[in-house]
């Protein structure tokens, strides 16, 4: 958790107000000058009185859908799903039609989806990545390869499971061995130079 602090003397003295989770920003209410809108990683809080000794948070996110999409990809093929979406709390979602709710992965399960790519020469070859836990620096990495346009993916061996993969790309052409090149960007502690 992070803290909220307030100063009335230009920063000389600070007082702790509240513990918060996943802070993004504060927005002053344009209707009530004492009010503060407080969007965070799982919704929206509202504070009625910014001058109160302690902030009283009110859940103000009724009827608001929060979905953190890291990547949305459409493979240009009639054989592929209409859309692939890599989502922070729902992993890798595939949409066969724009009229039907997206489905989660049927094979390699990714808790937090970060990236998706495919081979332009053979779009049936695709790669997706992500991790299981909230903190990508300690979460188990998932790197998965597909041969059916991303509908199902099999996890592959990854050199360092403690570093979460935040991005992945697949070369547009296959190599002589029949496989495209896959490059991954990992987040976390590393000694690679």
What are the residues whose beta carbons fall under 8 Å from the beta carbon of 10, sequence distance 6 or more?
A: none
pLDDT in tens, 27-78: 889 999 999 888 776 678 888 988 888 777 787 777 666 677 889 999 999 9
**Local confidence pLDDT in tens for the 193 residues of the chain:** 567 788 989 999 998 877 766 666 788 899 999 998 887 766 788 889 888 887 777 877 776 666 778 899 999 999 999 999 988 877 888 999 888 778 776 666 677 888 999 999 999 999 998 877 655 555 577 889 999 999 998 888 776 655 667 889 999 999 999 999 999 887 765 554 4
Predicted local confidence at residue 111, as pLDDT: 77
Predicted local confidence at residue 193, as pLDDT: 40
Rg (the chain; Cα; Å): 22
Closest-CA residue to 18 (of 56, 45, 46): 56
pTM for the model stands at 0.65
Distances (CA, A) of 187 to 4, 36, 85, 91, 145: 27, 34, 21, 17, 20
Predicted local confidence at residue 54, as pLDDT: 78
């Amino acid at each position: 958790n992070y803290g909220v602090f307030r100063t009335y003397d230009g920063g000389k003295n600070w007082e702790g107000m509240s513990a918060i989770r996943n802070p993004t920003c504060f927005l002053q209410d344009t209707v009530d000058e004492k009010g503060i809108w407080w969007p965070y990683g799982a919704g929206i809080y509202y504070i009625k009185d910014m001058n109160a000794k302690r902030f009283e948070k009110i859940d103000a996110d009724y009827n608001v859908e929060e979905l953190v999409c890291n990547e949305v990809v459409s493979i240009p093929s009639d054989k592929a799903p209409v859309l692939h979406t890599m989502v922070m709390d729902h992993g890798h979602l595939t949409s066969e039609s724009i009229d039907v709710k997206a489905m989660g992965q049927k094979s390699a399960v990714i808790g937090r989806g970060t990236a998706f790519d495919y081979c332009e020469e053979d779009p049936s070859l695709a790669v997706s990545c992500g991790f299981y836990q909230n903190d990508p620096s300690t979460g188990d990495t998932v790197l998965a390869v597909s041969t059916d346009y991303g509908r199902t993916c099999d996890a592959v061996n990854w050199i360092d499971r403690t570093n979460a993969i935040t991005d992945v790309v697949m070369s547009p052409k296959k190599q002589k061995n029949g496989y495209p090149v896959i490059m991954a960007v990992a987040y976390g502690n590393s000694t690679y130079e």
